[in-house]
Chains A and B, each alone.
Chain A
């Protein structure tokens, strides 16, 4: 069994992504945020200012470690040194959640080892399921903690896939024992980029494909609008848009409330604006609870920070 008790306790908590411009704000103003998510690789240095900082943060907030470089779908082996650095960090700050993406990163170029430095997409085929499940199992065994696997925005469309993205994620989770981190915004970006007639409806159908007990966290984000016909880039540069809030409501009804993160990485607003976004997410969760109570669906046992 992997450590997961902290994650259970934070079910339905709302946090924000903590990025460099807000480091001092986060240490001085802790109200309004139930947890923070940081990018793992930014704190890999075993010593120095960044490690001191993340230790200080861990004394004030539960931390979710979100990676961008594990490359869990890589056919080339994941670099052992990378996993050891992640383990060193997790042993140090004891995050309640560790997540990364359903992507690949490790490869070779002209015979030399390469990390692609991006979240590269995978075809939804059995071979990719098996490779990703094996990689996740290896990392979970080393870390001693369950991973959360996030659905990806893909700018490449595969001509033929023997399974859908949701089938793919479900198979990987069932085979590896990981849970899923459902990025609500990524579903919508993919639906738009695939030219769905009704992107919101299409994203809802994708949600319906997922077993309700696999999803343990939601990501909410916004993107820069583009002209018709252009691909939307998942740039996390805007407030969560209304379409994303609507799909969040749908996901809450489908999966029940889960740990929820406001992701904002570029063109960052001030810390207070981020807290306002977190507050809005809480309101949506409360509205869900009210809907459940009216329809006799029962309570979800929300944590104090959400119900207060």
Chain B
């Protein structure tokens, strides 16, 4: 292989393009080694980010999933833990969705657990509670923790996920346990966040799920309370949110953050 007539940049682009996009490469071609390395690393990475998925469908299925995902979502950051966000979408659009319709939701759930385990935990600024007595609620909002995400599914995903613990590689629950959970399960609403250094999940009711989704988009506390379409109870929710590390402060929508002093 030579690169005398190309700039180094062009040569590097050509090599990476061949690794990612050249198919039917002969096994004797050194390119096949790099392609195989890439696929094995991507598969291992997915299995780490999605440990329950890997248990549910097995290593042999994770390999083609990783291969397909590499065509859809390129690794960009140099940290494989950042790669794999689009797995749920890939599964939803694949033949697996017909056989195991809860699988895409499990992937979505595991990605949120994965993210929550890696994001910073910010303590609640209790001084910001004072704003509740100083301003109209229409002028106040709640800042959610950087690690918090909300999740909902028609399937009992959290219970299915728990069935696949303890976190040992070869442990799998009996199929009848899974079937029982699916038959008896109800839709789930969850908040997922990092709490005391670990990803944690807490059940929500539907109104809390909707309210937290609105808070993500900056809706004011007053608007949430006045919204007649939900049964959201801010007074009950607030201590629960503080206790679980979901929120970092109460914020006035037009003034500075107490926490950041910005």
Report chain A residues within 8 Å CB of B119: 45-48
Q: What's the Cα separation between A76 and B81 when bound, in Å? A: 22
Report chain A residues within 8 Å CB of B20: 109, 114, 116
Q: Is the CB of A131 within 8 A of B8?
A: yes
Report chain B residues within 8 Å CB of A214: none
Sort chain B's interface into a size bin: 35 or more
Given that A44-B79, A158-B2 are contacting pairs, would A117 and B12 also be in contact in the complex, using a CB cutoff of 8 Å? Answer: no
Report chain A residues within 8 Å CB of B15: 107, 120, 156
Chain B CB within 8 A of A75 CB: yes
Chain B CB within 8 A of A113 CB: yes
Q: Is the CB of B8 within 8 A of A125?
A: yes
Residue of A74, A123, A157 with most partner-chain B CB within 10 A: A123
Q: Is the CB of B198 within 8 A of A117?
A: no
Q: What's the Cα separation between A114 and B83 when bound, in Å? A: 11
Chain B CB within 8 A of A70 CB: yes
Neighbour of A47 across the interface among B1, B8, B120, CB < 8 A: B120
Q: What's the Cα separation between A263 and B15 when bound, in Å? A: 28
Q: What's the Cα separation between A109 and B77 when bound, in Å? A: 14
A182, chain B: closest CB distance, angstroms: 22
Q: Is the CB of A108 within 8 A of B8?
A: no
B200, chain A: closest CB distance, angstroms: 11
B41, chain A: closest CB distance, angstroms: 6
Neighbour of B75 across the interface among A52, A117, A233, CB < 8 A: A117
Chain B CB within 8 A of A49 CB: yes
Chain A CB within 8 A of B63 CB: no
Interface residues of B in 1-26 (CB under 8 A from A): 1-4, 7-9, 11-13, 15-17, 19-21
Interface residues of A in 63-116 (CB under 8 A from B): 69-71, 74-76, 79, 81-82, 85, 104-109, 112-116
Q: Is the CB of A48 within 8 A of B198?
A: yes
Chain A CB within 8 A of B80 CB: yes
Q: Is the CB of A81 within 8 A of B13?
A: no
Neighbour of B117 across the interface among A45, A108, A115, A128, CB < 8 A: A45
Neighbour of A123 across the interface among B11, B21, B33, CB < 8 A: B11
Closest to A127 in B: B8
- Interface 0/1 of B64-107, CB less than 8 Å to A: 00000000001111111100000000000000000000000000
Q: Is the CB of A118 within 8 A of B13?
A: no
B61, chain A: closest CB distance, angstroms: 21
Sort chain A's interface into a size bin: 35 or more
Closest to B198 in A: A49
Q: Is the CB of B12 within 8 A of A160?
A: no
Q: Is the CB of B78 within 8 A of A115?
A: yes
Closest to A121 in B: B15
Q: Is the CB of A118 within 8 A of B41?
A: yes
Report chain A residues within 8 Å CB of B11: 123
Q: Is the CB of B78 within 8 A of A105?
A: yes
Q: Is the CB of B13 within 8 A of A117?
A: no
Q: Is the CB of B121 within 8 A of A71?
A: no
Q: Is the CB of B2 within 8 A of A76?
A: no
Given that A69-B78, A75-B8, A117-B41 are contacting pairs, would A156 and B118 also be in contact in the complex, using a CB cutoff of 8 Å? Answer: no
Chain A CB within 8 A of B30 CB: yes
- Interface 0/1 of B116-133, CB less than 8 Å to A: 011111000000000000
Q: Is the CB of A114 within 8 A of B74?
A: yes
Chain B CB within 8 A of A41 CB: yes
Given that A41-B80, A48-B117, A75-B9 are contacting pairs, would A117 and B33 also be in contact in the complex, using a CB cutoff of 8 Å? Answer: no
Q: What's the Cα separation between A224 and B25 when bound, in Å? A: 23
Report chain A residues within 8 Å CB of B77: 79, 81-82, 115
Closest to A122 in B: B8
Q: Is the CB of A120 within 8 A of B34?
A: yes
Q: Is the CB of B8 within 8 A of A123?
A: yes
Residue of B74, B79, B194, B197 with most partner-chain A CB within 10 A: B79
Q: Is the CB of A156 within 8 A of B1?
A: yes
Neighbour of A128 across the interface among B4, B8, B41, B81, CB < 8 A: B8
A-side residues, CB < 8 A to B, are 41, 44-50, 52, 69-71, 74-76, 79, 81-82, 85, 104-109, 112-118, 120, 122-123, 125, 127-128, 131, 155-160, 231, 233
**Known contacts A47-B121, A117-B41; can you find 14 more A-B pairs with CB under 8 A?**
A44-B81, A46-B120, A47-B194, A48-B198, A105-B78, A107-B15, A109-B17, A114-B75, A117-B80, A157-B30, A158-B1, A159-B1, A160-B2, A233-B33
Closest 6 CB pairs of A and B: A45-B118, A75-B9, A69-B78, A155-B30, A107-B16, A82-B78
Please name 22 pairs of A and B residues whose Cβ atoms are closer than 8 Å in the assembled complex, sorted by A. Answer: A44-B79, A47-B147, A47-B194, A48-B117, A70-B78, A76-B12, A79-B76, A79-B78, A82-B77, A85-B79, A107-B13, A112-B76, A113-B76, A116-B19, A116-B20, A116-B38, A122-B8, A127-B8, A157-B1, A158-B1, A159-B2, A160-B4
